[in-house]
Amino acid sequence: MDKQDIRERIWDALEAEGIARFPFPPHGRIPNFDGAKEAAERLAALPQWEAATAIKANPDAPQLPVRRAALDAGKTVYMAVPRLRDEECFVELDPAELTDTDAAATVSGMDDHGVQVGPDALPHVDLVVSGSVAVTETGDRIGKGEGYSDLEFAVLRELGLVDETTTVVTTVHERQVVDEAFETADHDVPMDVVVTPERTVRTGATGRPDGVDWDALDEERIEEIPVLARVRE
């Protein structure tokens, strides 16, 4: 199926079935869902979570409980600046330096409480948390369609900050786990683990990208994202 068809079906279902949570509507975004906190708690029970000290997380609402749990557990969280628009394209949330971890974990509070840093300031990332609109049990993921999550991973991979030992996970509602096959690109990052409020799926996914897919980027987009020009040089 076409990815956009699946997105629209999932967004519609979450809204119609009362699963979606603020912000509304769920359409056009990584949708928040009933049970996001329970999914975060299930994620925090994984050994990969326990071992992680540095986590790269998406800034969307359904993963807010994940970010708060990470900070409460003493893990440093990195979130990308929207659209990677700055050369210092990540915000570092170091719990040792924060006075209000609850506020710092929010997308509205990360700039006030965190420190904006360039990729050179990041350590090796142990765990990557991605937001999803839909995902399969084999780890294929559909985001909201802008491609920034995959691009962020690719940049980190180019710089050696993520590798084959880095676990990539997503938390979703069970309704977002789909059976349909859809086409994936070489730059799409598969999920190693899919966590819902009810279960944990270890996907067995393989074939993550080993860097930036330059052929998929035009010059205009490279110029819009300073870190890409830097990485290419």
Q: pLDDT (tens digit, 9 = 90+) per residue, 91-144?
A: 999 999 999 999 999 999 999 999 999 998 999 999 999 999 999 999 999 999
pLDDT in tens, 180-228: 989 999 999 999 999 999 999 999 999 899 999 999 899 988 988 999 9
List, as one string, the DSSP characters of the chain. --HHHHHHHHHHHHHHTT-B-SSS--TTS---BTTHHHHHHHHTTSHHHHH-SEEEE--SGGGHHHHHHHHHTT-EEEEEPGGG-SSS-EEEE-GGG-S-HHHHTSTTTHHHHSEEE-GGG-----EEEE--SEE-TTS-EE-SSS-HHHHHHHHHHHTTSS-TT-EEEEE--GGGB--------TTPPPPSEEE-SS-EEE--------S--GGG--HHHHHH-HHHHHHH-
Q: Which pLDDT does position 1 carry in this prediction?
A: 76
List, in order, residues 6 or more apart from 121 with CB less than 8 Å away.
90, 92
What pLDDT, on the 0 to 100 scale, is given for residue 25? 97
pLDDT over 90 (residue 230): no
* For the chain, percent of residues with pLDDT exceeding 70: 100
Q: Give mean pLDDT, residues 15-39.
A: 98
Q: How confident is the model at residue 155 (pLDDT cuts 50, 70, 90)?
A: very high
Class for the domain spanning 3-232 = alpha beta
Query: Over the chain, what is the mean pLDDT?
Result: 96
